[in-house]
A and B are shown apart, each in its own frame.
Chain A
Amino acid sequence: MLEALGTVLSWLNENLLKMTWLNDLVGRLVQDVLGLSLTSRLGTSIQFFIYDSVKIFVLLSALIFAISYVQSYFPPERTKAILGRFNGVGGMVLGALLGTITPFCSCSSIPLFIGFTSAGLPLGVTFAFLISSPLVDLASVMLLASIFNWTTAIAYVVMGLLLAVLGGATISALKLERYVEPFVFGTHLADAELPELTRRDRISFAREQVADIVRRVWKYVLIGVGIGAVIHGWIPGEFISAVLGDQNPFAVIIATAIGVPMYADIFGTLPIAEALVGKGVGLGTVLAFMMAVTALSLPSLIMLKKVVKTPLLAAFFTIVVTGIIIIGYTFNAFGRLLV
Chain B
Amino acid sequence: MMEIKVLGPGCANCNRLEQATREAVQKAGLEASIEKVSELQEIMGYGVMSTPALVVNGELRLAGRVPSVDDLVALLKRG
Contact = CB atoms under 8 A, between A and B. Distances in A.
B28 interface: no
Interface string A58-97: 0000000000000000011100100000000000000000
A104 to B, nearest CB: 8
Interface string A103-131: 10101101110110010000000000000
B48 A195 contact: no
A3 interface: no
A194 B46 CA distance: 10
Contacts of B71: 204
A212 B13 CA distance: 9
A195 B60 contact: yes
B50 A75 contact: yes
A35 B66 CA distance: 46
Interface stretch (A19-27, A139-147, A182-190, A314-322): A182-190
Contacts, number: 81
B2 to A, nearest CB: 16
Contact of B13 (A75, A77, A107, A118): A107
Q: How large is the interface on B (under 10, 10 to 19, 20 to 34, 35 or more residues)?
A: 20 to 34
B29 to A, nearest CB: 23
Contacts of B60: 192-195
A114 B51 CA distance: 13
A208 B67 contact: yes
Given A77-B63, A204-B68, A212-B66, A191 B44 contact: no
B12 interface: yes
Given A112-B49, A208-B66, 13 more contacts: A76-B49, A77-B63, A80-B49, A103-B64, A107-B11, A107-B14, A110-B9, A110-B40, A118-B44, A190-B46, A191-B47, A192-B48, A192-B60
24 contacts: A75-B63, A76-B49, A76-B50, A77-B47, A77-B48, A77-B63, A105-B13, A108-B51, A110-B40, A111-B9, A112-B49, A115-B44, A115-B49, A187-B41, A187-B44, A189-B44, A189-B49, A190-B45, A190-B47, A192-B60, A204-B67, A204-B71, A208-B65, A208-B67
7 closest A-B pairs by CB: A192-B47, A107-B11, A190-B47, A115-B49, A76-B49, A189-B44, A111-B49
